[in-house]
Structure 1
Amino acid sequence: MELMSIFALACYLLAIGACLSRLLHHQGPDKRWVLGSALTAIAAHGVWLYQDIFISSGQNLSLMNVAALVSLIISLVLTLATFKLRTWVILPVAYGFAIVNLAAATLLPSHYITHLETRPEVVVHISIALFSYSTLMIAGLFALQLAYLDYQLKQKKKPLFHPALPPLMTVERQLFQLIVIGAILLSFSLLTGFVFLQDMFAQGKAHKAILSMIAWLMYMTLIWGHYIKGWRGKPVIYATVIGAFILTLAYFGSRFVKEIILT
Structure 2
Amino acid sequence: MEFFAISAILGYGVAFYLVASKLLHSDGPNRKLATIAGAVGVISHAAALAPMIIENGGQHYSLVNTASLVMLMITTAITMMLPRIKVIVVVPAVYICGIFGAAGMVLLPQNEGYLFNDPALFTHVGTSLLSYAVFFIAALYAIQLASINRRLKDRKLMLESPLPPLMTVEKQLYHLIMIGFALLTFALATGFIFLEGFFGSGQAHKTVFASAAWLVYGTMLYRQRTRGMQIRSAIIYSMTGVVLLTLAYFGNRLVRELFIG
Range class of TM-score, shorter chain: over 0.9
Alignment of 1:212 with 2:210, yes or no, is yes
Shift of the alpha carbon at 1:16? 1.1
User: Counterpart amino acid of 1:95?
Assistant: Y
TM-score, with structure 1 as normaliser: 0.93
Alignment of 1:100 with 2:137, yes or no, is no
Moved over 3 A (4+): 155-163
Shift of the alpha carbon at 1:19? 1.2
| Secondary structure, aligned partner of 1:60 | strand
Identify if the C-alpha distance between structure 1 residues 161 and 47 changes in structure 2 by more than 3 Å, giving closer, same or farther. Answer: farther
CA shift digits 1:200-244 (9 cap, x unpaired): 111132011001111111111111111112112111101101110
The match for 2:10 is 10
| Secondary structure, aligned partner of 1:72 | helix
Alignment check: 8 A CA contact 2:207 2:248 kept: yes
The match for 1:25 is 25
Unpaired runs of at least 5, structure 2: none
TM-score, with structure 2 as normaliser: 0.93
Alignment check: 8 A CA contact 1:183 1:219 kept: yes
Partner Cα distance (2:243, 2:39) in 1? 28
Alignment check: 8 A CA contact 1:53 1:65 kept: yes
User: Counterpart amino acid of 2:204?
Assistant: A
Partner Cα distance (1:161, 1:48) in 2? 43
The match for 1:146 is 145
Partner Cα distance (1:50, 1:23) in 2? 32
Identify if the C-alpha distance between structure 1 residues 57 and 184 changes in structure 2 by more than 3 Å, giving closer, same or farther. Answer: closer
Partner Cα distance (2:251, 2:150) in 1? 32
Alignment of 1:170 with 2:168, yes or no, is yes
Aligned length: 260
Greater displacement, 195-204 / 53-62: 53-62
CA shift digits 1:161-192 (9 cap, x unpaired): 445x3221111111111111211211111111
Alignment of 1:90 with 2:90, yes or no, is yes
RMSD over aligned CA atoms reads: 1.7
Identify if the C-alpha distance between structure 1 residues 210 and 62 changes in structure 2 by more than 3 Å, giving closer, same or farther. Answer: same
Partner Cα distance (1:58, 1:159) in 2? 54
Identify if the C-alpha distance between structure 1 residues 160 and 24 changes in structure 2 by more than 3 Å, giving closer, same or farther. Answer: farther
Identify if the C-alpha distance between structure 1 residues 43 and 75 changes in structure 2 by more than 3 Å, giving closer, same or farther. Answer: same
Shift of the alpha carbon at 1:33? 2.8
Alignment of 1:124 with 2:117, yes or no, is no
Alignment check: 8 A CA contact 2:74 2:94 kept: yes
Partner Cα distance (1:16, 1:162) in 2? 21
Identify if the C-alpha distance between structure 1 residues 94 and 166 changes in structure 2 by more than 3 Å, giving closer, same or farther. Answer: same
The match for 2:50 is 50
Shift of the alpha carbon at 1:76? 1.1
Greater displacement, 103-112 / 132-141: 103-112
Alignment check: 8 A CA contact 1:59 1:114 kept: yes
CA shift digits 1:50-71 (9 cap, x unpaired): 1211124642211111111111
Identify if the C-alpha distance between structure 1 residues 56 and 161 changes in structure 2 by more than 3 Å, giving closer, same or farther. Answer: farther
Unpaired runs of at least 5, structure 1: none
User: Counterpart amino acid of 2:21?
Assistant: S
